[in-house]
Amino acid sequence: MSPVRIGVMGCGRIGRMHAELISWQVPNAEVAAVYDVVDDASAELAKELGVRQAAEPAEILESDDVDAVAICTSTHTHIDLLVAAADTGKAAFVEKPLALNLADVDRGIAAAEAAGVPVQVGFNRRFDPSHRYVRDRVAAGDLGDVHLVRISSRDPEPPPLMYLDQSGGIFCDMTIHDFDMIRYITGSEVTEVYATGAVLVDDAIGEVGDLDTAVIVCHHENGAISAIDNSRQAVYGYDQRVEAFGSAGMSASENPLTATAVTRTADGAHGPTLPYFFLDRYIPSYLAEWDAFTAMMQGAPSPVTLADGRAPLVIGLAAWRSVHERRPVRTDEIG
Ligand SMILES: NC(=O)c1ccc[n+]([C@@H]2O[C@H](COP(=O)([O-])OP(=O)(O)OC[C@H]3O[C@@H](n4cnc5c(N)ncnc54)[C@H](O)[C@@H]3O)[C@@H](O)[C@H]2O)c1
């Protein structure tokens, strides 16, 4: 099989990482070209990878040597690029969140459906071996009926304020991964959301209308309850734990450590800390995500569909309404 040729749009933190992984570690894919509105960003990455630098999106979208695009640009640009990809018949990988409002998401879904192009959304945590193990135990029935899902998801440091300002805030930027995970683990849609939060890390986060600390409780169609806690600043590293608890037992994904060594002294035991952030913690999941993408390009169903991209945004918007109105919000109030 010839490699899937991918045009990478957006050469920031995550676009650069995807382009490097595709180039160096994904057997059935290669980067054909890169594009960024900031010329220097794409020039540097094109040089590093020895690939073509596109001067504008059309140079990727209309190119015969590109099979698919990876949309890794700032969130508010995802849907226009997805629609442009669909209009030119290109398959797409789109980073999360799809957009920050449902009208845009639905515009993207309509364009992709009309064109019949395969699309995968970038919810990489579904491909993390430990989180997937928990989900597989649930799906196999090993835990009986699932009653509770509990997620702790804490970043080591807040993103730059400029990023936060256009990110959709904590629920649509950060917790959206956890909203995806609770759907994935339980296999059940969320019906009601109660969210609360605070600004405890950095006042500047509050000044842009955002929160840095939050707790969210979600009710699912099948009766299960999920509880998520988030912080934008865990001083000990990137803390990512998922637990499912059911009538026949529990299954939990623990944090991997940066090493397995331990020091013991008269004062007790001391071990290595957690991986620092997503680029350290989730590389296996990003690689598996690209393997799944290449399988989709061979005809397998999308492993993370546009509908899977839409549902967590509904939950995120419900969470914001819940905070603003200080009440539980049903997801069918949102759309
Ligand atoms: N799945 C994950 O683990 C994960 C992790 C981080 C970020 N993300 C998502 O990826 C996206 C990018 O995040 P980031 O951290 O890389 O941000 P970033 O700010 O580091 O990079 C965004 C890049 O997109 C470029 N850009 C903006 N508008 C563009 C346009 N119209 N055309 C081409 N390039 C454009 C910017 O110049 C910048 O280089 C966001 O939607 C974010 O939510 C996903």
Ligand 1 pocket residue status of 73, Cβ below 6 Å: yes
The pLDDT value recorded for residue 335 is: 82
Helix (H) / strand (E) containing 171: helix 169-173
Residues 141 and 257 in one domain: yes
Residue 298 lies in a domain: no
**Confidence at residue 201, expressed as pLDDT on a 0 to 100 scale:** 98
Residue 105 lies in a domain: yes
Residue among 37, 72, 74, 100 whose CB has most ligand 1 atoms within 8 A, to mutate: 74
Note whether 100 and 148 are same-domain residues: no
For residue 25, give the CATH number of its domain. Answer: 3.40.50.720
Q: Return the structure tokens found at 14.
A: 């995550």
How many domains does the structure of the chain reveal?
A: 2
> What's residue 255's pLDDT?
95
140 by DSSP, 3-state: which? helix
Look at residue 225 and tell me if it is in a domain: yes
Q: What atom of ligand 1 comes closest to residue 173's alpha carbon?
A: 43
User: How far is the C-alpha of 105 from the C-alpha of 176, rounded, in Å?
Assistant: 15
Note down the domain range covering 74.
4-117
How confident is the chain (335 residues) per 10-residue block, as mean pLDDT?
94 97 96 98 98 97 97 97 98 98 98 98 98 98 98 97 92 98 98 98 96 98 98 97 98 93 94 92 97 98 98 98 98 94
Residue 297 within a domain:
no
Q: Is 84 in the pocket of ligand 1 (CB under 6 A)?
A: no
- Model pLDDT, residue 207: 95
- Closest C-alpha to 176, from 218, 204, 143: 218
- Regarding whether 147 and 113 lie in a shared domain, the answer is no
205 shares a domain with 153: yes
- 322-331 long-range contacts (CB < 8 A, ≥24 apart) are 322/193, 322/194, 322/195, 322/196, 323/195, 323/196, 323/197, 323/211, 326/196, 327/194, 328/192, 328/193, 328/194, 329/192, 329/193, 329/194, 330/191, 330/192, 330/193, 331/189, 331/190, 331/191, 331/192, 331/193
Both 194 and 54 in one domain: the answer is: no
Structure confidence at residue 1 (pLDDT)? 73
- At 211, which CATH number? 3.30.360.10
Please tell me if the CB atom of residue 278 comes closer than 6 angstroms to any atom of ligand 1. yes
The CB of 74 under 6 Å from ligand 1? The reply is yes
Whether the CB of 303 sits within 6 Å of ligand 1: no
Q: Are residues 144 and 179 in the same domain?
A: yes
Are 112 and 131 within one domain? no
**Which pLDDT score is estimated for 217?**
99
CA of 157 to the centre of ligand 1 (A): 17
Same domain? For 63 and 88 the reply is yes
37 lines ligand 1 (CB under 6 A): yes
> What's the pLDDT score for residue 33?
98
Task: Specify the pLDDT at position 225.
Answer: 98
Q: Residue with the nearest Cα to atom 7 of ligand 1? A: 14
Whether residue 296 lies inside any domain: the answer is: no
